[in-house]
Structure 1
């Protein structure tokens, strides 16, 4: 049931979720825009003064944890709270985390704040996307268009967040930027509380509560990681390396259990789970390149790009806003394009859209391969190199990310609905972790290796993208008629 009977329009609930997510993404992307710089800038600049390798590991662990925790966040909604309460309480936890980050002078409080934001985001993020999917029970191109509109809210929030928090963090004070992120999440909570009634009966708590075994396992794992870090058995760099394999292993086991061992699923549902696993791999590779925006590409902007205009130096974090600008520019036309092509029976299949997304991400890194050649020679390049890289990454994102969100809501077995949304975000978790670890290679003594590092990402992205395009027919058949 939606808030309007006119199926030609989008339900009012979409716009409630649009603005709630906009403010949450303001807080997340705004803080993320300055996080890596805060970690690696010197103590004399008010930052933490860590090495690129350690800073990259911490950045990767944080951003990956944000998405990895969407898996228990989806489970909590499916089995205990329901989606609406999960969004509400997740937002409160996020706000508390940003308040902790805004307190200067204590590394312990800072890392506690990072952990708190990650936990809250894991609770909020998969469930707000799940309700968007439930607003369109008929599925089809209209649901894709709805997700594209929702995606505009994400990127409007990230654009404003990176612009405001980036300026405050780099030009005024790092902790002022973190404080602005807390205010944004508060505004998102107010929006959701005042307008949540437009969601009707969607996202309510389940009638029967699930068993808590899964939560006990997650809690035990978090406690074990904390003990290993505090005791010094693991540092951030080694933990990041271990977590790459842990996340991959958890994902494989989860997909294997759902696809092979749950006898309640039909053959068609099992095949769809198999397709979702392939899309997971594609998404993880895409995000491992795309999420270089906050790590290696930010280093390139800070150290190898001419950012001075009329004597004023632009904050390096502002380059990340190119992605949000291009999203706002292209998302509505591309959403309309999918609907137009669907009417003409020319809409590309989902595997082809995924493939196009990967190819365009790879091409963006081909541009950076050439820009890095100048950096090796000690030449600061113009802003156009990063700008065009972000443009191709954005076009790739629009082919893959909103379509991927919509696809997971279409193909996921009903009993695993929010958990499968969590798995979609686990792909982003793995990609973010790889992006952070990858950025550790970009220290000032390692500039000569920069072109080959960018070229590696290009080749992997283009290669897998072409494979998806070539094998779209068998993947389409496994989807069991879902478009």
Structure 2
């Protein structure tokens, strides 16, 4: 493989996936930077005119759906289309969705556009990550981790470009021109993917050949039954007045219940009727624990597009040389730090591995959660300044994004890589889908959390941020405490 390692010392196919994902993330993060701002802007200013609570719930539902649909997207790739075609079809759906969003019109047209983007991302995201893992064959060491770190740099390069272009066009020129720019980005990604597809050398061209396992049918029935039970539980909660599915927030809370129950059902199905041996069951249980840790991390981190975006708009002094920066552009500091630090972290993992000092995945998860918490501790002090009657400087958000980036680099690419190593081969893409379901749950929680953000009352903001600090610290400490047993259950995988 070394003679073909022409992309930063990695297989050439990584370049194809790097640039495809870069343009897809250009479209996704560019649109996300203006999404909640557009929804909460008055109709007189060409916005959607929704209140913060409704907008935050819609934001949470959309960003959750983007990743939740990765599970059926992974299944369809495994059983019907193959990963390469799933990426292609997904990109087309994403582009169509952004084109619909670029059309000025009713709320119904807007929601249809969001639906297309969500479906397309569900096809593309888990399968492109799966092929990255397949490029390295049986190599499950630090080289693969470094490859995912480089891939992650492509994600954030697209994010940096998208949030710059779309924020300026959307906030300073016209909202729908911003959405149109996101469509152009995905179109460029599709062209690049088609022209360089040969570098993948047939990986993911055909669906995996599945072997029907004893008890698999009954296991699926068990999953369906639990899913039906989750829906019944939502009806009961509606009847008792615990949730209200006639509101956007109530729907978001109900979807949260569904995600939790269906995820538990999926793992139960794998354990009961998946045909796994004891070692595989232990590794799948570790994936489940990583799922929990990732959900908590993203619940804090993904507030960049909701709570922190609103904080940037309403409580942050964004003036520089007499010009007020678009609120969404401050999110660029996360991908900026990623681009700078990704190669550094990749090199660190390889060097530590050579010295037999590379921290295990659970320890990296614990550190990532603690860094997320520290970032919100910074925002707590920024919110205290706002309560005192003055706007916070942009430096508070910049430092927060630096801490969050450090946490992201120790958790997200490592978690992706660990999932490709731990997942049983016959459930490979589905397990990648499960990884993105964790992101879905985190995004949904982030949206619900933002619903409590009142742009007219700064006094409640410090308490909101401190609750995230406590959640992150508690979760991070738990991962550090239980890292030993998790490491043993991971077997030869670090």
TM-score range, shorter chain: over 0.9
Question: Residues 193-236 of structure 1, C-alpha deviation per residue, up to 9 Å, x if partnerless?
Answer: 0000110120022365899x98xx8xx99xx9xxx9xxx96331
Report what 2:200 is aligned to: 199
Separation in 1 of the partners of 2:3 and 2:256? 43
Deviation at 1:378, TM superposition (A): 2.2
Deviation at 1:381, TM superposition (A): 1.0
Deviation at 1:263, TM superposition (A): 5.2
Separation in 2 of the partners of 1:317 and 1:208? 45
Are the counterparts in 1 of residues 78 and 208 from structure 2 also a CA contact under 8 Å? Answer: no
Report what 1:42 is aligned to: 42
Structure 1 unaligned blocks of 5 or more: none
Kindly indicate whether residue 397 of structure 2 is the aligned counterpart of residue 386 of structure 1: yes
Report what 2:58 is aligned to: 58
**Local SS of the residue matching 2:392:** coil
Are the counterparts in 1 of residues 83 and 207 from structure 2 also a CA contact under 8 Å? Answer: no
Question: Residues 412-465 of structure 1, C-alpha deviation per residue, up to 9 Å, x if partnerless?
Answer: 011100000000000000000000110011113442111011011011101111
Are the counterparts in 2 of residues 3 and 199 from structure 1 also a CA contact under 8 Å? Answer: no
Report what 1:245 is aligned to: 257
Are the counterparts in 2 of residues 2 and 200 from structure 1 also a CA contact under 8 Å? Answer: no
User: Which deviates the most, 441-450 or 72-81?
Assistant: 441-450
Are the counterparts in 1 of residues 166 and 178 from structure 2 also a CA contact under 8 Å? Answer: yes
Are the counterparts in 2 of residues 4 and 11 from structure 1 also a CA contact under 8 Å? Answer: yes
Separation in 2 of the partners of 1:184 and 1:3? 32
Report what 1:26 is aligned to: 26
TM-score (norm 1): 0.94
Question: Residues 14-57 of structure 1, C-alpha deviation per residue, up to 9 Å, x if partnerless?
Answer: 00000000000000000000000001111122101111100000
Separation in 2 of the partners of 1:207 and 1:462? 40
TM-score (norm 2): 0.92
Separation in 1 of the partners of 2:446 and 2:493? 32
Deviation at 1:343, TM superposition (A): 0.4
Report what 2:240 is aligned to: none
Report what 1:431 is aligned to: 442
Report what 1:144 is aligned to: 145
Q: What is the 5 A alignment of 1:324-403?
A: 324-403=335-414
Question: Residues 296-318 of structure 1, C-alpha deviation per residue, up to 9 Å, x if partnerless?
Answer: 00111001110111221000001
Are the counterparts in 2 of residues 3 and 12 from structure 1 also a CA contact under 8 Å? Answer: no
Separation in 2 of the partners of 1:43 and 1:7? 48
Are the counterparts in 2 of residues 80 and 209 from structure 1 also a CA contact under 8 Å? Answer: no
Question: Residues 380-400 of structure 1, C-alpha deviation per residue, up to 9 Å, x if partnerless?
Answer: 011110000000000000000
User: Which deviates the most, 72-81 or 106-115?
Assistant: 106-115
Separation in 2 of the partners of 1:83 and 1:96? 20
Are the counterparts in 1 of residues 6 and 12 from structure 2 also a CA contact under 8 Å? Answer: no
Structure 2 unaligned blocks of 5 or more: 236-243
Kindly indicate whether residue 63 of structure 2 is the aligned counterpart of residue 71 of structure 1: no
Which of 397, 407, 414 lines up with 2:418 in the alignment? 407
